[in-house]
Structure 1
């Protein structure tokens, strides 16, 4: 087969950066993460390059070209795949998980919906693809791993039985397994080869967000919040679907050794398929991956093949079904999140708009502020909460200091790195400058060499003028530079060598000092002296003071003669002819002749003057030569000195070169050492990265501690207001909302919170005044005899302790709050028998305002602002004995927790329950149920208004405000014994003294007579022994004789001749005092 040449063109660039930035700027994050953006694709390669070669077009089977379109690449090996995964998957999911952990569930859900949106209803996309908003999860590819059981089944089959697709899957699994084996603690290494793991992760985090969101609403325990929580739990249940069925183990595989497993086909993954023994039907469906023609024989009745090692149970995933089922069960059975049965109020407590405004102004989430106001009351007292809040706040302050220290150290490390970088940069610049200084020193040395050459030429010139041989002079011409490294150790040696080479002494020319002319010579006429400023040598002195004056004088004499004889020449000639012999001559004498004689004399004198001038010039020239010779010597000696000085300068220049070179090398060493310091700063443990990490961790811990502290502080404030319950305190807000400044990282949050807590503590100490402490004993037989009968028969009852009962004892009080509650059940029990009665507070109320409405004390119907209601099942206790049992081991011990029912309103509704199925004693022996209620109260209500209300309440005929229970068996034993002996129905005489003392002095009016009996576990009501028309006769008997007689006829249900029977009469009545108006 011919070799195939393949060319694969990958896009090593991101084609849509501009588009993504544009979408982000125009449509924010939603537009950036939109699925339509991820699905953009453009096959640009063919359009841009337009390949027309037959080979490139793919017509030759031995030549293939593969190109990649422009798209959002999320493949496993794409150049920009990692960035796209981070942008479209990891970033939204990480943000969503972080928001969920910070109780911002709605925002977390919106971020989850950028990847997984189970609320999508688009019918154009099939399920489950429509729910995935990340394109990779919609784009299955060869090698993507299926479910775990299918994967293990493929891995356990022999390679010869695998299809091509399954072989690709096997390669991917092997690569994933190898990555897991090499890096077992890097889950992303494996998850990148098994995309379904990311899908499971997203769905599980989405479920956790829904469940945590529902739990936060469930804990608010209001009707509205529970309805919202129910919808979230239902959504989570719909995502989960049906609970996985528990498959029973009806199979039996023979025990095998490792050799047997290997022979059965166990591969590198440790999986093998084994045949099951013929025991029970194993499977009626083909195993995963067994589709095909030969699959039918693998599901035979009783015989099958299965994995020897099973797929482990995913307890975390199964736990979601348990959690959702638990929450929905509690909601549907009227329980709170802890499982306690309670009755919800119709409406949630009213919100304070001012509080929400302050929270919004402080930048706090309104939902969080609302949740804080509706948080359940703390089980511990305010003092302990304040103490713990202060302790946690101290930790917050310490964490703030640690955060500031981490920030400071991080900035210090960054500054150190910056300073070190600057130092390296300056060192490099300094090294360049030192390099230039080094080269400048070498250039200066070269310049000194040139200067030496010029100086030598001058020296040579004057030496030659002075007559020195040329060869002798030229031996000093050539000087070679010798650059020897100079150190402290060899400095003297090198210096002496350089001195011998460059600074050798040069012999100087010598001349005797010139003799100066003498002074004070009478011949001096020129005025020039030898000393003083002229320092004349003799020839110069002779020229100036001898020859030149002499020549001047003679010239002056000649001039004088010319003048004198010129004047004489003006005389006339006088002629004399002398001819003695006739022959003679003519002689003339006169002025012209005298003038000629004078000119002759003057010429002679001028000749002498010229001679003196010549002698002076000669002396001057000789003096000039003398001066020139001296100048040649001086110039030669000066050049020699300059040569020797130049030698010293060369030595200094060479040393300076060494200094500059060493300085340059030292600059390089400084850079290297600075780089080593920089590398140490970058790689040391306490580097910038560490402090950056530490800053993030401390900041996160600081924020968490602050949230913890603010939650405890607000709980403490609620506890203080609940314990103190004073209007002047309720109107104040101690724990504010402006502690945390995001721009300053909340560094002063601890100090501000500590200040608010200190104010709260001082206010608590100031307003926690002692109140009246009272105890009332509530007899169920006197208060609600029917409820007592229900307890004796059914083992449970519900009754209400009204406000008038407390007003009857101490009128004029308000704000009655329970401090302690104990229960007594007078009954007949056996030895060591526990009376396990469950006492639950169903709801309670208290009068918080002592004022009257329309001068009336009675509570109005509907919402009465004077009362505060506590709905729902607040607390329960279980007694162990029947005598004043508070359900505590030591009711008198000092406890930081609130006692059971402490703080609830004394106006209360109770539920009393005894075990109904297995009874440890006879409930019919219970003669009464007594609540010993210790409560606190404050004065302030008008006593006359309370008394008036009591009189009106007792006189009212509506309802059953008052009742008295009589046991025929115990209260009338003689009459009951006579009836059991065969007499007629009991005739009972009920005296006025048997009614409560407060009713004995008033007029009692019987409103009803009820007859009850206990049949097994049921309370049976019998016919009333008195007709309604005969009730007035009973009132008349009471008024006249202080008692009335009541005949109770026998019947078949209640009044029966049975010694165990215990019929009860309940007499309903009202009272009216003489002063009461009709």
Structure 2
């Protein structure tokens, strides 16, 4: 809760420092919101009356106090009980008044801070309590700034890093090396963030690879198990094959040993008998034909002698008998040859089976070696798996794992972002100092879009470094010496028309001029005066970019021994014309009510800068060419009081404790106040000087008229 309130107050302070009417209104709303969240301050709870005491004294108390209090309360009815009460009743103080909640000093500080800020706002003071004088209307926005924001991708709700570019108290040349060192530190932060990102990714990659190795080791173990199983199956297959070959070897060996079986011999004998019978049959036929050839055919009577064909048939039968004999012998020999060839084949098959058995035995031995190797590979794979698991557990449990680098990355990213915010504020302040010293508020060097959230803001420091280098180069090329001028003024002469009642509706003719100034000092202790543009244009018309180098005051007064001047000079407002613009000069004259009503010059406030360093003040002590400094050092790293602000300005000279006797004596002997203004300017050329000349002439004419009208009164007061 307190952090949220502090955030609201810090946001309001940031708006308060912008010193614009819109920003002040928004800051007031934030302060009121924070105050409403705090609620009213209970005065009784904000005072601590606790005193330290020993535990022995704290334990010595009357334990009947609370019960006595309860018995003393009469019966309460619902209508007697209020709807609500302010605060919480502390009944425990009745029983043990020594033990109580401490006073929350942080909340009390928040109340005090809010009361102080709201008081400054209501009394038209700055955040640090200085007088505040704001223009009625702010300078128009630069459309180029809006275009830059649009090109940079900034939306209405975009996050704006870096604080408001407030002009620092140190000069640009003093700020630049410090900001460059800060940017170098930011670059180192960015490199560290990048390193942590790489280390985090590397450690995550190591764990990922090791998890893959662990998974692959499981596959390796499974593959080795399957390889061992496959080797065993192959060995069993080889053994089965050997058994088949052995069986085949025995089979052929048995066939070889039997050679020709009894059935085959019986068949051969039967075939031989059949052949013999066929041969005998053929021989019988041949004999029949032979007999038939030489035996006549008789059938009761004889016809001729013998049959000649019977001899041919007998010859054919003889040949048939010979052929059958040869056939039987050939078949017999063929059968024997087949049996011989068959035996040779059986011998060959036996030899082949023997050789296969030898080969299979060798293969079985080789398979045994392979199984042993597979067992060894399995042990190696299991060992590798166990080691991979142990290493993976180490990677997961090690202190320098991804979790550590992620934590370091988050911490470093937070520091990097905060460093970027701080360094960007310094860069913008340096840029504001560059603009402040050169009078160029349009040129920008520092990019607002250097930070990329989706890339952790990497290379943001390099972008700022480039902007600083370009800024330094532009400063060396453009920081030319300007006109150094001195303007000495007499407040007695400047305020010769001073009339404290001029702003009143019922103003009457009274004391004016220096006498009125002294009366104002004696009564109120302060006097205001303006250094208008016409004062400087009377000397050098056509000048622009008038910036103060220093302002000193001298008091022609009689002082006693060891007596000093006690006064404070406050710059209430300043204006600077950045470019030679007649409309800008006319705007300055209009702000001072020195522009003719019928003037046809078009006002142009685009090139005016108001109050770059508002409400600066110095204390005056010596009273002789007093700059409000112990030692005037133009080479100081910090700006001198009022340095760089507009020479066209408004001032408040105040004397503390004005009603005291020493101060009244100073006022009685004060004859004048000499203001010496040292400032820089740029000549706008003869054309601008000729254009400004009518404005100066109009002011001199009005002063002449006022001098004519006030002469009788001044003669009456004895000032002439």
TM range (shorter): 0.7 to 0.9
Give the aligned length: 641
In the alignment, which of 556, 559, 565 is matched to residue 835 of structure 1?
Answer: 565
Is the contact between residue 50 and residue 98 of structure 2 (CA under 8 Å) also seen in structure 1?
Answer: no
TM-score (norm 2): 0.76
Instruction: Name the residue aligned to 1:274.
Output: 61
Give the secondary structure class of the aligned counterpart of 1:898. coil
Task: Determine whether 1:778 maps to 2:489.
Answer: yes
In the alignment, which of 70, 92, 95 is matched to residue 292 of structure 1?
Answer: 70
In the alignment, which of 906, 914, 930 is matched to residue 674 of structure 2?
Answer: 930
Shift of 1:833: 4.0
Instruction: Name the residue aligned to 1:648.
Output: 362
Query: What is the alpha-carbon distance in structure 2 between the residues aligned to residue 869 and residue 631 of structure 1?
Result: 126
Instruction: Name the residue aligned to 1:229.
Output: 27
Is the contact between residue 162 and residue 424 of structure 2 (CA under 8 Å) also seen in structure 1?
Answer: no
Is the contact between residue 569 and residue 591 of structure 1 (CA under 8 Å) also seen in structure 2?
Answer: no
Q: 5 Å matches for 1:1029-1040?
A: none
In the alignment, which of 25, 34, 42 is matched to residue 243 of structure 1?
Answer: 42
Distance 1:817 1:959, change over 3 A: farther
Q: Deviations over 1:314-372 (max 9, x none)?
A: 22233222222222222223222222232233334433355335425534354779998
Query: What is the alpha-carbon distance in structure 2 between the residues aligned to residue 854 and residue 824 of structure 1?
Result: 32
Instruction: Name the residue aligned to 2:215.
Output: 425
In the alignment, which of 241, 245, 253 is matched to residue 455 of structure 1?
Answer: 245
Instruction: Name the residue aligned to 1:1008.
Output: 711
Q: Deviations over 1:605-649 (max 9, x none)?
A: x44x65555555444444444444443333333323322322222
Distance 1:253 1:746, change over 3 A: closer
Task: Determine whether 1:711 maps to 2:425.
Answer: yes
Distance 1:957 1:325, change over 3 A: closer
Query: What is the alpha-carbon distance in structure 2 between the residues aligned to residue 854 and residue 380 of structure 1?
Result: 29
Is the contact between residue 530 and residue 651 of structure 2 (CA under 8 Å) also seen in structure 1?
Answer: yes
Shift of 1:773: 0.6
Distance 1:870 1:592, change over 3 A: closer
Query: What is the alpha-carbon distance in structure 2 between the residues aligned to residue 600 and residue 377 of structure 1?
Result: 151
Shift of 1:677: 2.7
Instruction: Name the residue aligned to 1:331.
Output: 121
Distance 1:858 1:953, change over 3 A: farther
Q: 5 Å matches for 1:358-369?
A: 358-360=148-150, 362-364=152-154, 366=156
Higher relative contact order (CA 8 A, sep 6+): 2
In the alignment, which of 86, 102, 106 is matched to residue 312 of structure 1?
Answer: 102
In the alignment, which of 186, 205, 220 is matched to residue 18 of structure 2?
Answer: 220
Shift of 1:889: 3.3
Instruction: Name the residue aligned to 2:683.
Output: 939
Query: What is the alpha-carbon distance in structure 2 between the residues aligned to residue 431 and residue 812 of structure 1?
Result: 95
In the alignment, which of 735, 755, 770 is matched to residue 466 of structure 2?
Answer: 755
Query: What is the alpha-carbon distance in structure 2 between the residues aligned to residue 375 and residue 410 of structure 1?
Result: 37
Query: What is the alpha-carbon distance in structure 2 between the residues aligned to residue 413 and residue 252 of structure 1?
Result: 57
Give the secondary structure class of the aligned counterpart of 1:312. coil
Q: Deviations over 1:538-597 (max 9, x none)?
A: xxxxxxxxxxxxx9xxx9xx99xx9xxx9x99999999xxxxxxxxx9995673575476
Query: What is the alpha-carbon distance in structure 1 between the residues aligned to residue 481 and residue 215 of structure 2?
Result: 75
Query: What is the alpha-carbon distance in structure 2 between the residues aligned to residue 369 and residue 742 of structure 1?
Result: 11
Q: Deviations over 1:645-702 (max 9, x none)?
A: 2222222222222333333343333332222232222222332223333333333333
Q: 5 Å matches for 1:660-1059?
A: 660-726=374-440, 730-784=441-495, 785-786=514-515, 789=518, 793=522, 795-852=525-582, 859-860=589-590, 865=605, 867-870=608-611, 873-916=614-657, 922-923=665-666, 924-940=668-684, 942-943=688-689, 949-956=695-702, 1005=708, 1007-1010=710-713, 1026=716
Query: What is the alpha-carbon distance in structure 1 between the residues aligned to residue 200 and residue 26 of structure 2?
Result: 46
Is the contact between residue 843 and residue 872 of structure 1 (CA under 8 Å) also seen in structure 2?
Answer: no
Instruction: Name the residue aligned to 2:206.
Output: 416
Shift of 1:935: 0.5
Instruction: Name the residue aligned to 2:171.
Output: 381
**Structure 1: gaps spanning 5 or more residues:** 1-202, 265-272, 277-285, 469-550, 576-584, 963-1004, 1011-1023, 1027-1063, 1068-1078
Query: What is the alpha-carbon distance in structure 2 between the residues aligned to residue 248 and residue 735 of structure 1?
Result: 50
Query: What is the alpha-carbon distance in structure 1 between the residues aligned to residue 210 and residue 412 of structure 2?
Result: 27
Distance 1:371 1:1007, change over 3 A: farther
Distance 1:698 1:854, change over 3 A: closer
Give the secondary structure class of the aligned counterpart of 2:530. strand
Give the secondary structure class of the aligned counterpart of 1:860. helix
TM-score (norm 1): 0.53
RMSD between aligned alpha carbons?
4.4
Instruction: Name the residue aligned to 1:1066.
Output: 719
Q: Deviations over 1:242-270 (max 9, x none)?
A: 2342577889998553xx76xx4xxxxxx
Is the contact between residue 797 and residue 911 of structure 1 (CA under 8 Å) also seen in structure 2?
Answer: yes
Query: What is the alpha-carbon distance in structure 1 between the residues aligned to residue 117 and residue 240 of structure 2?
Result: 102
Q: 5 Å matches for 1:57-72?
A: none
Distance 1:713 1:778, change over 3 A: same
Give the secondary structure class of the aligned counterpart of 1:274. coil
Query: What is the alpha-carbon distance in structure 1 between the residues aligned to residue 249 and residue 97 of structure 2?
Result: 111
Query: What is the alpha-carbon distance in structure 2 between the residues aligned to residue 256 and residue 411 of structure 1?
Result: 58
Distance 1:254 1:710, change over 3 A: closer
Instruction: Name the residue aligned to 2:268.
Output: none
Distance 1:767 1:742, change over 3 A: same
Instruction: Name the residue aligned to 2:194.
Output: 404
Judge which range, 917-926 or 344-353, deviates more: 917-926
Higher helix share: 2
**Structure 2: gaps spanning 5 or more residues:** 75-88, 259-274, 496-513, 594-602
Query: What is the alpha-carbon distance in structure 2 between the residues aligned to residue 674 and residue 898 of structure 1?
Result: 68
Q: 5 Å matches for 1:592-603?
A: 592=309, 594-595=311-312, 598=315, 602=319
Give the secondary structure class of the aligned counterpart of 2:710. strand
Is the contact between residue 569 and residue 595 of structure 1 (CA under 8 Å) also seen in structure 2?
Answer: no
In the alignment, which of 308, 314, 320 is matched to residue 591 of structure 1?
Answer: 308
Is the contact between residue 857 and residue 945 of structure 1 (CA under 8 Å) also seen in structure 2?
Answer: no
Distance 1:389 1:435, change over 3 A: same
Distance 1:787 1:723, change over 3 A: farther
Query: What is the alpha-carbon distance in structure 2 between the residues aligned to residue 955 and residue 602 of structure 1?
Result: 179
Distance 1:368 1:254, change over 3 A: closer
Judge which range, 941-950 or 432-441, deviates more: 941-950
Shift of 1:450: 1.4
Query: What is the alpha-carbon distance in structure 2 between the residues aligned to residue 250 and residue 723 of structure 1?
Result: 55
Q: 5 Å matches for 1:430-579?
A: 430-465=220-255
